[in-house]
Amino acid sequence: MTLDEALAQLTVHSDPATIEQKTAYHKQERPVLGVPNPVLNDLTKDWRQTLTLEQRISLAADLWQSDIFEARICAAKVLTQARIKEDAGVWELLCSWVQDFDSWAIADHACTALQKRLIAAPDRLDTIDGWTTSDHMWRRRAALVATLPWAKMANPKADDIHQRERILDWAATYTTDRNRFIQKAVGWWLRDLSKHDAPRVTAFLEQHGSTMKAFARKEAQRYLHKQG
């Protein structure tokens, strides 16, 4: 499938009435087609099922380079899959996009694809480690969003707990960062972890909560209060 063919499938579902709304909500300067999310889900599901991995990588690269809002989301979705044999090409492409992150919606979809590749090969956390000290805020944020599976594990193994502690160390360094998106990512990570290990989140907040912004601390505590 060519880029033009993929964009044609997207454009036929364009809703002019929602373009302005989505542009404002997502604070986009790039083109927005106004395609509903369920349509994006259906199209990318079909592409994942009908295209080879090589074709999907090529299409995803082209969709991303188009710099159209929905096309970039589709680029991430077409590569979001738990089991991929020989996934080095997917991993490398996803990592190459991080430098372009400038929108939470696009970044979060790409990070969802990254989550699958990290779970498939946890040693890739060594690469993510380098993102935590980047000058690029979106790359630093991606380090937490892409590692959310470790916060959501109900029955982590010893290696998983070790990796989780490593990620919590990153989060601790983020608590003094005043950027709202960074603070929100910390609160989000802790909130999800609290469902499975409330004592660990409580301990984290006792040590680092005073340096977090109030809204992030409140987010981290959302389920702790319910459990109490």
- pLDDT tens digit string along 82-137? 999 999 999 999 999 999 999 999 999 999 999 999 999 999 999 999 999 999 99
Q: Which helix (H) or strand (E) holds 186?
A: helix 180-194
pLDDT level of residue 26 (50, 70, 90 thresholds)? confident
Least confident of 7-21, 39-53, 119-133: 7-21
- Confidence (pLDDT) at 225: 72
Does position 46 have pLDDT exceeding 60, yes or no? Answer: yes
- Counting other chains too, the contacts that 124-131 makes at CB distance below 8 Å and 24 or more residues apart are 124/91, 125/163, 125/166, 125/167, 127/95, 129/166, 129/170, 131/98
- Confidence (pLDDT) at 96: 98
pLDDT level of residue 157 (50, 70, 90 thresholds)? very high
Rg of the chain over CA atoms, in angstroms?
18
State the number of CA atoms in the 13 A half-sphere of 109 facing the CB. 21
Does position 56 have pLDDT exceeding 60, yes or no? Answer: yes
pLDDT level of residue 27 (50, 70, 90 thresholds)? confident
What integer is the mean pLDDT of 182-197? 98
What integer is the mean pLDDT of 20-34? 86
Q: Kindly state the tokens that stand for 227.
A: 């459990």
- Confidence (pLDDT) at 193: 98
Kindly state the percentage of the chain with pLDDT values over 90.
92
Does position 228 have pLDDT exceeding 80, yes or no? Answer: no
Does position 172 have pLDDT exceeding 80, yes or no? Answer: yes
- Confidence (pLDDT) at 227: 61
- Measured at the CA of 116, the angle between CA 78 and CA 131, to 5 degrees, comes to 105
List, for residues 60-77, the tens digit of each pLDDT value: 999 999 999 999 999 999
Q: Are 188 and 217 in contact (CB under 8 A)?
A: no
What integer is the mean pLDDT of 1-25? 91
